[in-house]
Amino acid sequence: MNLIKLNIKFFLSWTFLIIINYFLILFLIYILSAILLVNKITPNIPLINEYQRNFYTLGLWKIWHSQPECIEFSDKLIYVPKETSCNFSNVEFSTKISFDRFGRVSDHPINSNNTGIAVLGDSHAMGWGVNDNETFSYLLEKKINRPVYNLAVSGYGTVRELIRLQESGLIDSIDTIIFQYCYNDHGENIYYKKTSKDIAKEKYNLVKQGGEFSIWKKLRKSFRYSIKIAGEVIFNKKRPFTFDHHNETFIQVLKKFDFLKDKRIIVFYVNGHQQEFSNFPSGKSKDFNNLEYIDLNIEEDISNFYLIDGHLNSTGHMKIAERLSKLF
């Protein structure tokens, strides 16, 4: 009996030590990751990268649509890009982002008799982290010699993307719309409603502040995430994404905009590295006659994205432009 008690005590003691050492090691890696990130060192080590992304979004991450020199108030869209240039930099890039009344600045071919193409999407399509002449819309325009209007805006979901196109005055100048979809569009597609000017102003002020979370809420969220993500990295557990409920809501949104019925619609997605939709469709839509899906297989290759920031880099934009050009 004494031997059994001794063995149990021995087992519990070692278990306690293992757990303590496990969390101590995680804490040391956590601190090391922060030190490396502050010094702009981003080694391709999965757990360190995840912790650095956590720190990045916690405080080092500059948000393009929180910079007052880059955006202005809109009672219909909450915010829109200013028709000017603004500098935008983060740990992994330093860029100048320029907009005019046709969206992200580009040298639209003025001698082309071809009808234009509108690109709608969020920060990936807008070109977060790349210069004006590095976006896939700019590169696509050069490849096919057709005007490509990049109306994508960081933070927008499908509803605001379509309202922006509606307000642009370009509908009669285009025959094709390219949607870059992202998993985080789903929330806005469900909940976005046209709001009063006062409510829109409140949301605009919140956007400029970078969100509603206090630093303490961010720290608590960061701590919980650091524990959770360690297990996912150690056991190589990928977070699954299925497209079914996204697609259902996306189609419902499209059906609210009558001008889409006589346009060619192409839909692809960019979620981020290793964040593939497991069942993204390919080919013609069964629910929307003039819509076709194309999976560009961008997510699998880390070289298409900034390691910590997570947005498309110039390589990713170049590959998207090349693959889209084959559709024209």
Can you tell me the distance from the alpha carbon of 93 to that of 306, in angstroms, rounded to the nearest whole number?
9
Residues 52 and 70 in one domain: no
Burial of 233 per CB tally in 10 Å (0-12, 13-18, 19+): middle
Report yes or no on 89 lying in a domain.
Answer: yes
Q: In this structure, are residues 310 and 127 in contact, taking their beta carbons and an 8 Å threshold?
A: no
The domain spanning residue 290 has which CATH number?
A: 3.40.50.1110
pLDDT per residue over 22-42, tens digit each? Answer: 667 767 777 776 777 777 777
DSSP secondary structure code for residue 25 in this structure: H
Residue 34: its pLDDT value, please? 72
CA distance 163 to 255: 13
**pLDDT tens profile 260-271:** 999 999 999 999
Same domain for 84 and 114, yes or no, is yes
Of 4-18, 43-57, 203-217, 239-253, which range is least confident? 203-217
Please give the residue range of the domain that contains residue 254.
Answer: 64-201+241-325
pTM above 0.85, yes or no: no
Q: Let me know whether 141 and 42 are in one domain.
A: no
Tell me if 46 is assigned to some domain: yes
Q: Are residues 162 and 297 in the same domain?
A: yes
Tell me the C-alpha distance between 102 and 106, whole Å. 9
Q: Which of 63-67, 109-113, 182-186, 281-285 has the lowest mean pLDDT?
A: 109-113
Domain co-membership, 130 together with 251? yes
Residues 40, 188 share a domain: no
Q: How confident is the model at residue 157 (pLDDT cuts 50, 70, 90)?
A: very high
Are 163 and 272 found together in one domain? yes
Claim to verify: residue 137 and residue 178 sit in the same structural domain: yes
Q: Residue 266 and residue 292: Cα distance in Å, rounded?
A: 5
At 175, is the pLDDT very low, low, confident or very high (cuts 50, 70, 90)? Answer: very high
Tokens of 157: 């979901």
List the one residue out of 76, 75, 161, 146 whose CA is nearest residue 116. 146
Predicted confidence at residue 128, as pLDDT, reads 96
Q: How many domains does the chain have?
A: 2
Which residues share a beta bridge with 181? 269
In a domain, 282, yes or no: yes
pLDDT at res. 124: 97
